Amino acid sequence: MKRTDNYQAKLDFWVDAPRIHPLPYGVRIPGLTRIAFHSHAEMNQWKRAQLLKLAVLPPEQWQIKLH
């Protein structure tokens, strides 16, 4: 029986050799603040405008930085 077929062996393997990966830092989105909306339509209009602004930013500003 292969290790991948035996679920208990797979769990024991993961417990014996855990891999902890650091989470990447998120990129700050410029101009994002807390805003109260009166309707979903207003929120969607604001969100569309923000996405259009992000689309013109250079790609260097959207790279993920590790710890």
Spatial distance between the Cα atoms of 12 and 19, rounded to a whole number of angstroms: 13
What whole-number distance in Å separates Cα of residue 8 and Cα of residue 15? 10
- Model confidence pLDDT, tens digit, residues 11-49: 887 788 777 777 777 666 666 778 899 999 999 999 898
Nearest to 63 by CA among 22, 27, 23, 21: 27
Is 29 in contact with 54 (CB distance < 8 Å)? Answer: yes
pTM here is 0.46
Length of the chain: 67
Pure H helices in 17-58: 40-55
